[in-house]
């Protein structure tokens, strides 16, 4: 934990990352709580988009995790720059990479691995978004450090092919019949956690999503003031990736819980489009009024995620608002508790931002 670094930051990266975390930790929980209390038929279609697809398909809520991984990749060309100058040893960067991977895995065990339960029967070693980020980040880091640009693209395509071949040969994309599920059973066994998601084999496509973000970050980094060019290039790549994902989905269905190759392409394309729009509006036109506060989440994304997932502030809210329940009813009171929980988290992050304390992982 410490103050932010001295080198200039790209506002669009922090704001888009912040938007992703705000939707995850504030907007969606409050919207769902209010929607359930109101129980309005017209609202159900909106709430449907703010929940994960049960299996095959894609909803709005399914872009949250891919965007998180994508933004990790988008930051890599900037964060790696000071470690990759000609003649400079990679040793300090290797230490940074290893430290980050280990910390992300540890935090993931705390968030959803039940590490704090202190019970071996409830311990899951690889079962969380932070660990998916760690795996994707490690794969992307090795590609970026040891391959030239054309080979980086080839390696990313190779990851898609390697992931897809055994999945397609088996031809079974059911929850318990797919190849990725079998790999998790063999490698993780009882430590695999949620049986509806796969992690070990899906690490290959986690790497693809992070690499797509790295390609986007490099486009912006190398021409930081060519806003129209960057926007056009990002948008074209985004559309191409979405189309490629839809074409691939005719053979390999889009399934977020398996992070299939079509899912990686389709969601990555959407991330490119979101990056294009944010880069043009924020970095190009300077339209930060009304959205710059999202940096509160974006510049402390890991802290926001971990605190939001681990610490429950509802009891604090309940202790000072219990008298409200008779007036609003139990259903709306649940929404009050959810709003209060999210507001306390926002206040903590705002305080950290104001005093320039950022969790460095």
Asked if residue 259 is part of any domain, the answer here is yes
CB distance 71 to 213 below 8 Å: yes
Under the banding of pLDDT at 50, 70 and 90, the label for residue 39 is confident
- Total domains in the chain come to 1
Looking up tokens 């949620």 gives 194
pLDDT of residue 313: 96
pLDDT tops 70 at residue 8: no
Asked if residue 4 is part of any domain, the answer here is no
Give 359's DSSP letter. -
Asked if residue 5 is part of any domain, the answer here is no
Helix spans in 50-121 (H): 64-80, 91-111
Under the banding of pLDDT at 50, 70 and 90, the label for residue 7 is very low
* φ, ψ of residue 56 in degrees (nearest 5): -85, 135
Asked if residue 284 is part of any domain, the answer here is yes
Tell me what the mean pLDDT of segment 2-29 comes to: 83
pLDDT tops 80 at residue 4: no
- Note down the domain range covering 227: 11-354
Asked if residue 168 is part of any domain, the answer here is yes
Tell me what the mean pLDDT of segment 50-63 comes to: 96
- In percent, the amount of the chain with pLDDT more than 90 equals 84
Asked if residue 269 is part of any domain, the answer here is yes
How far CA 171 is from CA of 183, 203, 281, 330, 357, in Å, comes to 15, 20, 43, 48, 49
| 230, 232, 236, 237: CA torsion to nearest 10 | 10
Asked if residue 361 is part of any domain, the answer here is no
pTM score: 0.94
Asked if residue 334 is part of any domain, the answer here is yes
C-beta neighbour count of 198 within 10 angstroms: 27
Tell me what the mean pLDDT of segment 250-266 comes to: 97
pLDDT tops 90 at residue 192: no
Give 112's DSSP letter. T
pLDDT tops 60 at residue 110: yes
- In percent, the amount of the chain with pLDDT more than 70 equals 98
pLDDT tops 70 at residue 17: yes
* φ, ψ of residue 2 in degrees (nearest 5): -175, -175
């Amino acid at each position: 934990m410490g103050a932010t670094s001295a080198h200039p930051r790209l506002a669009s990266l922090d704001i888009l990352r912040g938007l992703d975390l705000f939707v995850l930790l504030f907007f969606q929980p409050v919207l769902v709580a209010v929607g359930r209390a109101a129980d309005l038929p017209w609202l159900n279609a909106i709430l449907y988009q703010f929940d994960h697809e049960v299996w095959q398909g894609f909803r709005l809520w399914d872009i949250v995790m891919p965007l998180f991984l994508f933004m990790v990749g988008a930051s890599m060309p900037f964060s790696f720059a000071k470690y990759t100058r000609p003649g400079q040893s990679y040793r300090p960067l290797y230490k940074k990479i290893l430290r980050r991977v280990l910390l992300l895995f540890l935090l993931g065990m705390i968030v959803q691995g039940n590490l704090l339960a202190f019970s071996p029967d409830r311990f899951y070693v690889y079962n969380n978004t932070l660990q998916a980020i760690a795996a994707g980040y490690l794969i992307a880091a090795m590609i970026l450090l040891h391959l030239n640009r054309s080979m980086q693209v080839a390696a990313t395509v190779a990851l898609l092919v390697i992931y897809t071949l055994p999945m397609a040969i088996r031809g079974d994309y059911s929850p318990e019949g797919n190849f990725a599920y079998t790999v998790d059973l063999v490698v993780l066994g009882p430590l695999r956690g949620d049986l509806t998601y796969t992690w070990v084999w899906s690490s290959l496509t986690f790497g693809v999503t992070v690499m797509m973000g790295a390609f986007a970050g490099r486009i912006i980094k190398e021409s930081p003031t060519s806003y129209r060019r960057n926007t056009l290039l990002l948008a074209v790549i985004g559309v191409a990736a979405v189309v490629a994902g839809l074409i691939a989905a005719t053979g390999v269905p889009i399934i977020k819980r398996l992070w299939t190759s079509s899912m990686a392409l389709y969601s990555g394309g959407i991330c490119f489009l979101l990056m294009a729009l944010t880069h043009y509006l924020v970095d190009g036109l300077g339209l930060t009024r009304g959205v710059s506060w999202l940096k509160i989440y974006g510049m402390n994304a890991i802290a926001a995620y971990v605190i939001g997932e681990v610490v429950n502030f509802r009891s604090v809210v309940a202790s000072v608002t219990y008298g409200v329940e008779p007036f609003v009813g139990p259903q709306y009171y649940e929404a009050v508790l959810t709003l209060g929980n999210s507001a306390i988290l926002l206040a903590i992050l705002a305080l950290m931002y104001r005093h320039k304390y950022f969790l460095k992982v």
